[in-house]
Structure 1
Amino acid sequence: MSVRPAGAGRTDNGRASDRRSRRPDPGTRSGPPRNRRRLTSDRLAPYILVAPAVLIIVAFRLWPLALGINFSFTGDLDRDGQPVGLANYIELFRDPLFQIALRNVGLLVLLLPVAVAIPGALATFIFLRVPGHRFYRSVYFFPAVLSPVIAGAIFNLLLAYNGPLNRLIGTVGLGPIDWLGDPKLAMFTVVGVHIWATFGMALVIFLAGFATLDHALLDAARVDGASLPQVIWHVILPGLSRTIQFVVVTTMIGLLTSMFALLYVMTSGGPGGATYLPEYYIWVQMGQMNRPALASAASTVLFFIMLVVGLVQVAILRRAGRED
């Protein structure tokens, strides 16, 4: 009885399969060092490119924000630098002026749709190429290049009790209106001037959004006999959903953080604190009352208000976009 040596009788296919089974898996780490170095560099490249921007944000945004929040838990005046817990926040919410400022924030949230609808409507008419649309585009953007101080000074003259606007409405039998001296009207007046002075930038953003619309959909809607309101509601608004989200958030931030100059020039927070906003309150506490810790607490409250309002607005607009 003969015994076959081991491996005798294997075919070439068997030896080839053995060699394939002993071949290293290209997905394992046992590949050449050069390939491993290339794979590592490819994985690290995005982080290296993003690192400078992240460092700038951390150094000039997040770190100062953290310091400001921490500073809001320290004392002012005779308790300068001493930990006081929530004492600043308790004093803040008990202050009648800050309560007025918070109520005015609620008013700004209610007026936000108007501040967004005005540039949106004007951009729509320009996009539809109404006669003179090039001229209107320049005129609408012109207030955006004016300094808020100049805009406030101009409207102080126009809206004075004996100013041109009251003389004009007096010609139709209406009495003079104290636009800036009436506590019930002053805030609406300042917000109106702010919208007039800043809607040019939102107009440009809307026009950029119109450039991304699918013109085939617009042409199809016109061929199907859709009216202008139907085209706006069913074609333009869904196509501009992301643009509208951006304009809503940036406009809200502008209302909360960019009205100081107008408030200072037109009303100085009056009459009776009726036009106080958190940013004006922060300046008063820091610049006039020398209470930086209380101002830091107000700044922290303003930050969280902006964060919550922005997130709620984006969530609502996204849900509306999905429903459309």
Structure 2
Amino acid sequence: MQDVARHANVSIATVSFTINNTKPVSARTREKVEAAMRELGFRRNAVGRALASKRTRIIALLFPALQHSMSGTVIQFFTSAAATARELGYNLVLWPISNEAGQATELTANGLVDGVLLMEVELDDPRVQELQESGTPFALIGRTRAPEELTYVDINFEETLVAAVQHLTALGHRNIALLDDAIGSRSLAAFGPVSRSRDSFEAEMRRQDLVPTAFTCEANPAAGKAAAAEILAAYPGVTALIVQNEQAAPGLASGLRRAGRRIPQDLSVLSVASSAEMAAMVDPELTVLTSPGHELGRMGVAALIDQLEGRATSLRQELVMCRLEGGGSTGPVPAQEEAVE
């Protein structure tokens, strides 16, 4: 460290502040120190720094991979969160464990991480109480049933589903069905996004004096293909589908074509909380309310690090709407259906 200080013409304390991010250092001085470190081949000793500061500058992103598969949208959360953590002087590790009580404690009890970011949050998530009791700083990408005392960022599923219904009713559709992810009734009991979205869909349909009809399937293309046949058999008059099941959407479109339904001439399909990349995999390209994955990953990490750095003066609680992006899968209600009404 003395060699770095001498080479950069700064004090040893300034080198320490730069390496450990313990005090503000100007951009110009930081660059001088970093350049000296590169030229001298100096490497940060993460273990030594952790022992000295009693902090690892590592945060963990807990994702229940045993219960929920990783979609393209989920990857957006990961990459954005990791990039933001690095920008703020931290490292982010992905911890793919289950949502069962006790799993989070195994990670936090040994001091490996400074804080935790939770994803795929249940309405009554056992990890939340576990972390509260342990005193570990944490933030949520998602919401529990009663999140008033928690730091969280989340998709505004309630308003997003209202926007989805209104997009379709503005095109004249009245026979609208929702296809969501079976995870809400399987291994993640009362999964927040599924529960909130279905409630909002049903409320908005009833507000417009329409009958809400909902289906569910596993999150994979084969399940989506099977769901197409199920929906058409149970609801032959359907003219529009809202799909909140990213990985099933391509199979659903394939199943509709196999049944002789043209998209959007015979049946409109609107994808919700998905990605533009997934929408582009379907022909025609799906109209989509895109998930703000990059934004939420960044916001979630920033909220957690604000806690760790003592900058959080109040709870951060933010909801972000999905953004409508044009595709070719939604259109006016078929003429014969409009005429009947």
Relative to the length of structure 1, the TM-score reads 0.26
Q: Which of 1 and 2 has greater Rg?
A: 1
Instruction: Name the TM-score, length of structure 2 as normaliser.
Output: 0.25
Greater fraction of residues in strand: 2
